[in-house]
Structure 1
Amino acid sequence: MQQRKLGRTGAAVSDIGFGAWAIGGSWGDVSVEDAKGALHAALDNGVTFIDTADVYGDGRSERIIADVLAERGGARPFVATKAGRRLSPHVAEGYTKANLTAFVERSLRNLRVDCLDLVQLHCPPTPVFYQPDVFGAMDDLVAAGKIRHYGVSVEKVEEGLKAIEYPNVATVQIIYNMFRQRPATLFFAEAARRDVGVIVRVPLASGLLTGKMSASTTFAADDHRAFNREGESFDKGETFAGVPYDLALEAVERIRALVPGGATMAQFALRWILMEHSVSTVIPGARNAAQAIANSQASALDAVSPAAMEQLRALYRERIAPHVHHLW
């Protein structure tokens, strides 16, 4: 497993991390046994970065992580969580110091630590990025010893660019994959210039880039891929990267021809993301140990060829960008 610097946190983390949304909820039923098995397998295979949130399973994800790390003992991985989405309604006015402190203290209890490695504002409404007091509240939580670093998780490139103007924003989590390439046009260069760590989420476009889905694939009722395709519950860009499902399936077939021998499409998609040197870590989810092991192996794949890179850029420009590029 290769290591990369996580921006100004100074931490060295595995370039393939572990996204813990799936073991919390909204991805169909994942048993506690499978969730723990997936996390153990990831850590056994060199993963040193875990990303979770207080709303994943209403804290279930954080608590499972705490259980697994207690079982393992020894050196701890870097654990990032998020705060803000517990607000109901989820509005900018709710991002107060009192609320953020309460969310952080709940995560401290769930993860059973005295100080959180990284807390990310969890895709807050756009006005939050223009409220210095919110970032001042995060500075206060650092000063109080409750968190070591803070960052943001964003829906839009513009939000990321605004966030990194705040001097103590250490990381930005953003969607980037073969179907969502806009961050590479400006954001990554700006993040690198300011020494901001970049955490890539939704790397497999909610499973589309595994190449295992078809027009007949069905999803459980509690799986966001069944209930959020048009943004019914949260931003639709989080589900299938916002790409119309049928169009995405057509594009996947064109990508399949580029996958090198000895690699799965999912591994190829992860390695493509790591071609961007400004990316600190990418956080695919895993519902079981086998998926976690396969994800971790992407780190060791050969670089994607220049010819394949150009074909993938062209596919995005011609077929995908008209549907997503202007939205996020």
Structure 2
Amino acid sequence: MAWRLGGPRLLEEKTLQKRPFGKTGWQVSEIGFGAWAIGGSWGDVSDRDAESALNAALDQGMTFIDTADVYGDGRSERLIARVLKSRGRDGLVVATKAGRKVNPHVSAGYTPAVLERYIDDSLRNLEVDALDVVQLHCPPTEVYYRPEIFEALDKMVVKGKLKSYGVSVENVEQALKALEYPITSVQIIFNMFRLRPIERFFARALEQQVAIIARVPLASGLLTGKLSTQSTFAADDHRQFNRHGEAFDVGETFSGVPYDVGLQAVEELRAISGNVPLAQLALRWILMFDAVTVAIPGAKNAEQAAGNAKAASLPALTDKQMAAVRDTYERLIRPHVHQRW
């Protein structure tokens, strides 16, 4: 059994079940750490809380970390580098993203030179010689029809700046198009409020051995069951400033579900969770799908990170529970999101 010094006391390191990450040969924990919240756009998170959250996630056995260059303009990447410098990187996979710095965010702004500059920035922020995974960060749809962009990423693999690359997409159509390229992974919103990826995309990705990273797994906190009509959000929290898609795709905030509808659906889902926290049930639901490689809930403190990890040890959902999730989706959620994303 491995131990490490964690502040004033020793913390037992735990091991989560692992799944293969595409064709890389890597095995990653089925629950990973989404590092958007420790970078920015989720209200104030101190460096101390951010580092505690990441350390707690790693203590629980998470071996996959997802970040991006725009999360706090590199803050998330730098925090990750600081934590990993103190405890080591062995057995860990860190995926970052590039492209959202393009301004205006249009296809023409994506060029090989621009992407390489962003990748060089991430190399410095993460303090590594080669990035494990770089994902195009929700580029405009037109980018998926430009083979030269993916060829540029291939060249950066040859240069040794990248070990592999993938994409983070807004919708299923983009995900399917991305599978035409030699990508390692696709990051896509998948949760109890976003069922469309199950229909065609999962089977195709499995067939091509492409890893699936399930992002926004808790629908921006709705699926924690802790939000209500009285909940308020800080001005710099995207759940306040992007409620209607003012800053980026509205599907990134509450999975595109109208807030009041989401709260209604949560009450139905709470009824099937029993004594299990809804957030943990929602994460365990995602793991019911073999096509999913890793779910990446965020955490703003150590308690949230440890709670996310517990989801993996829950028993499988019953057929009755799975049917109840589908029923709630079909009646309440589908009209708002299914054909859009």
Structure 1 counterpart SS, 2:96: strand
Once residues 90 and 112 of structure 2 are traced to their aligned partners in structure 1, the CA distance between those partners, rounded to angstroms, is 32
Structure 2 counterpart SS, 1:8: coil
Once residues 307 and 186 of structure 1 are traced to their aligned partners in structure 2, the CA distance between those partners, rounded to angstroms, is 24
Once residues 55 and 42 of structure 2 are traced to their aligned partners in structure 1, the CA distance between those partners, rounded to angstroms, is 19
1:101 aligns with 2:116: yes
Aligned match for 1:2, one of 12, 17, 33: 17
1:215 aligns with 2:229: yes
Match of 2:270 in 1: 256
Match of 1:205 in 2: 219
Aligned match for 1:125, one of 134, 140, 153: 140
Q: What does residue range 136-155 of structure 1 map to in structure 2 within 5 Å?
A: 136-155=151-170
Aligned match for 1:229, one of 243, 246, 262: 243
Match of 2:209 in 1: 195
Deviation (angstroms), 1:314:
1.1
Match of 1:30 in 2: 45
Match of 1:89 in 2: 104
Measured at CA, do residues 172 and 74 of structure 1 come closer, stay the same or move farther in structure 2, by a change above 3 Å?
closer
Aligned match for 2:184, one of 170, 174, 178: 170
Aligned match for 1:159, one of 162, 174, 190: 174
Instruction: Kindly indicate whether structure 1 or structure 2 has the higher relative contact order, using CA contacts under 8 Å at least 6 residues apart.
Output: 1
Match of 1:326 in 2: 339
Match of 1:270 in 2: 283
Letter aligned with residue 79 of structure 1: V
- Could you say what the CA RMSD is over the residues aligned between the two structures, in angstroms? 0.7
Match of 2:56 in 1: 41
Match of 1:116 in 2: 131
Cα deviation 1:235-261 (Å, max 9, x = unaligned):
000000000000110110000010032
Letter aligned with residue 107 of structure 2: A
1:304 aligns with 2:314: no
Deviation (angstroms), 1:76:
4.7
Deviation (angstroms), 1:74:
5.7
Q: Which runs of 5+ in 1 are unaligned?
A: none
Residue correspondences, number: 326
Deviation (angstroms), 1:75:
1.8
TM-score scaled to structure 1, two decimals? 0.98
**Deviant stretches of 4+, over 3 Å:** none
Aligned match for 1:11, one of 26, 40, 44: 26
Once residues 30 and 50 of structure 2 are traced to their aligned partners in structure 1, the CA distance between those partners, rounded to angstroms, is 21
TM-score scaled to structure 2, two decimals? 0.95
Q: Which runs of 5+ in 2 are unaligned?
A: 1-15
Deviation (angstroms), 1:319:
1.0
Match of 2:150 in 1: 135
